């Protein structure tokens, strides 16, 4: 059965909850900078309770490497699934995700994401969850056939009015502002009486920018479909000859990571998992 949104708390196995608490306690004891995301951040900002098989922890790439080394010393099984964005910490059949950005390499977790996190209690541990603006940014590109987080974005905007920081959101999305506008149009369609939850100046700014782009289209503009869904837009690349921007953005991100990693670390040699069901948090 497909999940149904609800405010009713969900229960998880005690063994799984114990793993979550253990990892959170270790990170808190060592003062690693991180923020909880996923279902726990969604609940904090919207009241929606969702069954979750994992605990999503957002942190910078450099912090992730430090955390992995330390947790391995503490007896956890750790693996880098995709150096661009995802590592996992296991104990038995349960796991915790360490997330450093989006799988397409477009949005990257930075120190400011952690600095802006909000206090919260997760499974009895005092910690922090992503601020609503960063939570939305982490979901903007989750727009695939298998998974679409547009409803989550609409709920976050609805649930955090009027404290949502729109200037921060524009900063986070940068050149990918059209993806934000797309999400806002869905919000407007779902909640027409709450159109003002998105300030008029934001609507005006984004719509005016769109009108300018439409009036003066760039004939050299790049195809960007693979950044949204590499599978659904595979034909554009494989059969119609359009450039693979996803491959390029990931390559750039890998090069950035290798420059910042310890000497001798070859991130490109690590396993790469781009399962369509797990592209971002």
Q: What Rg do the C-alpha atoms of the chain give, in angstroms?
A: 19
pLDDT at 219 over 50: yes
pTM over 0.85: yes
The pLDDT value given to residue 1: 78
Non-local (6+) Cβ contacts of 115 within 8 A are none
pLDDT at 203 over 60: yes
Lowest mean pLDDT among 21-25, 228-232, 243-247, 264-268: 264-268
Non-local (6+) Cβ contacts of 119 within 8 A are 126, 127, 128
pLDDT, mean of residues 108-115: 98
Task: Please state the length of the chain.
Answer: 281
pLDDT at 270 over 70: no
Lowest mean pLDDT among 31-40, 84-93, 128-137, 261-270: 261-270
The pLDDT value given to residue 265: 43
Q: Return d(Cα 63, Cα 110) in angstroms, integer.
A: 10
Q: Where is pLDDT greater, at 180 or 277?
A: 180
The pLDDT value given to residue 271: 41
Phi–psi pair at 109, nearest 5 degrees: -70, 130
The pLDDT value given to residue 281: 46
Q: What is the mean pLDDT of the chain?
A: 92
The 3-class secondary structure across the chain, one letter per residue, is: CCCCCECCCCCCCHHHHHHHHHHHHHHHHCCCCCEECHHHHHHHHHCCECCCCEEEEECCHHHHHHHHHHHHHCCCEEEEEECCCEEEEEECCEEEEEECECCCCCCECCHHHHHCCEEEEECCEEEEECCHHHHHHHHCCCECCCCECHHHHHHHHHHHCCCCCHHHHHHHHHHHHHHHHHHHHHHHHHCHHHHHHCCHHHHHHHHHHHHHHHHCCCCCCCCCHHHHCCCCCHHHHHCCCCCCHHHHHHHHHHHHHHHHCCCCCCHHHCCCCCCCCCCCC
- The domains located in the chain, with CATH, are 1-130 (3.30.460.40), 218-260 (no CATH)
User: Tokens 């450099």 sit at which residue?
Assistant: 62
Q: Return d(Cα 59, Cα 98) in angstroms, integer.
A: 7
pLDDT at 66 over 90: yes
The pLDDT value given to residue 262: 58
Of the pLDDT bands very low, low, confident and very high (cuts 50, 70, 90), residue 246 is very high
125 forms beta bridges with: 122
pLDDT digits (tens, 9 = 90+) for 116-164: 999 999 999 999 999 999 999 999 999 999 999 999 999 999 999 999 9
């Amino acid at each position: 059965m497909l999940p149904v949104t609800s405010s009713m708390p969900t229960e998880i196995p005690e063994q799984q909850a114990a793993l979550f608490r253990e990892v959170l306690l270790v990170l808190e004891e060592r003062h690693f900078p991180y923020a909880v995301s996923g279902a726990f951040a969604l609940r904090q900002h919207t009241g929606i309770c969702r069954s979750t098989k994992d605990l999503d922890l957002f942190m910078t790439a450099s912090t992730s490497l430090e955390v992995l080394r330390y947790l391995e010393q503490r007896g956890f099984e750790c693996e880098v699934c995709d150096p661009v964005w995802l590592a996992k910490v296991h104990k038995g059949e349960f796991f915790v995700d360490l997330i450093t950005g989006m799988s397409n390499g477009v949005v990257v977790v930075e120190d400011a994401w952690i600095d802006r996190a909000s206090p919260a209690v997760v499974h009895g541990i005092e910690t922090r969850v992503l601020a609503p603006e960063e939570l939305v940014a982490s979901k903007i590109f989750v727009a695939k056939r298998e998974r679409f987080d547009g409803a989550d974005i609409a709920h976050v905007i609805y649930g955090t009015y009027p404290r949502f920081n729109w200037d921060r959101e524009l900063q986070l999305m940068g050149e990918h502002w059209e993806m934000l506008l797309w999400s806002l149009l869905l919000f407007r369609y779902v909640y027409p009486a709450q159109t003002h939850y998105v300030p008029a100046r934001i609507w005006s700014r984004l719509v005016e920018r769109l009108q300018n782009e439409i009036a003066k289209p760039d004939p050299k503009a790049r195809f960007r479909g693979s950044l949204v869904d590499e599978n659904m837009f595979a034909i554009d690349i494989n059969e119609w000859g359009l450039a693979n921007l996803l491959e390029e953005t990931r390559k750039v991100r890998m090069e950035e990571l290798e420059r910042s990693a310890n000497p001798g670390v070859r991130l490109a040699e690590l396993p790469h998992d781009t399962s369509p069901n797990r592209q971002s948090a």
